[in-house]
Structure formats: C-alpha cells, structure tokens
Amino acid sequence: MPETPCEPRLKAPSGAVYLEPVEPGLTAEGYVQMLDLAKKRGYTFSTFAEVADASKQIFLRHDLDMSLDVGLRLAELEAREKARSTYFVLLTSPLYNPFSASSRQTLRKIRDLGHDVGLHFDPMVHKVEGKSELFASLDQEVNQLSMVLGEPVRFISFHQPSPWVLGEDIVGDNYESVYNSRFISKMRYISDSTGRWRAESIFELLERDSESHIQFLSHPGLWLSGSGKSLNDRIWHLVDEKQRSIPSQFEEAINSAGRGLTLFDPSHISLRTRNS
C-alpha cells in the first residue's frame, strides 16, 4: 500500500537503541544515484511553489532535525547535480541554534544554492491542543524564521505531528503546510524516517516510473553520516561531528565583540570510543 504521513513511525522500547540495520543505499553515493534515476525517468526537481499538473515532478524535502551543517552539505551535493529541494528548519531544536550568526550564514548559503527554506514546526513544544493555538504558534515561528532568512517563509512541515494536525489543511496568511491535501492526495508521498522504507524504496518507486508527482521526505543525517550499519551508528557519527564543532562555537560566542581570541585546537579533543 502507498505510504501516508499518518502511518506511525518505527518505535523502540523505552531506553532501547536502534541497532537494526538501515536500508541499503542510504549513502551519499546512493543519493546521487537516486537523483540520476529521477533525471533518467524525466522528473523535474521542483519546490512546493511550482506544482504543475502537466509535468512529472519530484519534490525533494529535507527535515533538519539534527544538523544545519549536514543540511548544507546535502544542499551543495544537490546543487552540483542540478537538483533543487526544500529544507525545513526546526527552530526549537535542542541540537542547533538557527538564530546564531553561523546558522544564519548556513541557511542563507542553502538558499543561495537555489533551494527553498521552510519551517519545521513541532506542535508538542508549544503544547498545541486546538486550531487557534496552532496558528498563533505557527505565525510566531514563521515570522521569526522569515527574519532570519530576510525573506518570507511560504511552506511549513510538522515534526512528529498528531493525526488531527495532519487531517487538516493548514493555510496561514502567507504560508501553507506541505501535508495539505494538494501535496499529499495528489502526490505519492514516501519517507526514509528512521532509515527504513515502509512499502517500497525511493529507488523502486522511481524504477517503476508510474507516478507523475512524488514528495520525497529525506533526512540528510541518514545519507551523509558515514557508513555505519545501524541508525545508532549514524547518530553517533553526528554526535562526533557535533563534538568537533564545540570549540568553534565557544570562539564564536567569546569573539562576538571582536576580541579575536583562539581557544584551542579541535584536534586535541578526545572523541568517544565505542565498539564498531
């Protein structure tokens, strides 16, 4: 059966780690192969503002749950391959600060590569229970991200939304959800969440060549986080990358007044060791 965004995510028991192997092909090389296959099948890489009934389109969508830097690396890869996509930023992420000077620069680089940038909204952070509360919180975050980007945010996605949120067509004054019916019921939706395909893979879907419009949700950290066999391995690869970036983040904070101080060499950090 075709995948829908309302299907439950794969879950592990409380306290468990994700040791199951991720699907084959979730690598940087595999991503390029996917882009090449989409080109071979005649798809146009489009943003959500460019829906056209008369053409074959694939809407590449990336929810940046863990890292803006990994998102930029994928954006650069896509630009080299002449592909365009939409990157959705989680303003309430505990793992990055989209308002910092370096994050603003990263997001504008993604945009300047020809991609679109939207809002990845987490209703649970705001304890949203009704439509009025939802729109009040959405308006606030859309305006904040628009100020960061220096241009209006037109599209939003939801982070682990409740079924009632996905059952509504969410349209604000200047933005709309990519889970709205015109982006879901009229397109084939497929996702790589937790590193597992639901019914079929994006490779199989493109090989079948039976869909005119595809919305593909992918998470850059899965494709660009090394060659670890499990989701646990790939998350720890991102943890190691984050640890390496800590010195530069301290320097950015200390040097905000132009002091020009250097703290220490990142190579001196001893990364966590673990069994492969």
pLDDT given at position 7: 44
pLDDT given at position 265: 59
pLDDT given at position 3: 58
Domain ranges in the chain are: 28-223, 231-260
Mean pLDDT, consecutive 10-residue stretches, the chain (276 aa), reads 48 53 87 97 96 91 94 97 98 93 95 97 86 91 96 94 81 94 91 87 96 95 80 78 75 66 57 48
pLDDT tens, residue by residue, 226-264: 777 777 787 777 777 777 777 777 777 776 656 666 655
pLDDT given at position 45: 97
Question: In the CATH hierarchy, which top-level class contains the domain 28-223?
Answer: alpha beta
pLDDT given at position 57: 97
The 3 state secondary structure assigned to the chain is: CCCCCCCCCCCCCCCCCCCCECCCCCCHHHHHHHHHHHHHCCCEECCHHHCCCCCCEEEEEEEECCCHHHHHHHHHHHHHCCCCEEEEECCCCCCCCCCCHHHHHHHHHHHHCCCEEEEEECCCCCCCCCHHHHHHHHHHHHHHHHHHHCCCCCEEEECCCCHHHHCCCCECCCCEECCCHHHHCCCEEEECHHHCCCCCCHHHHHHHCCCCEEEEEECHHHHCCCCCCEHHHHHHHHHHHHHHHHHHHHHHHHHHHCCCCCCCCHHHCCCCCCCC
Whole-prediction pTM:
0.83
pLDDT given at position 256: 63
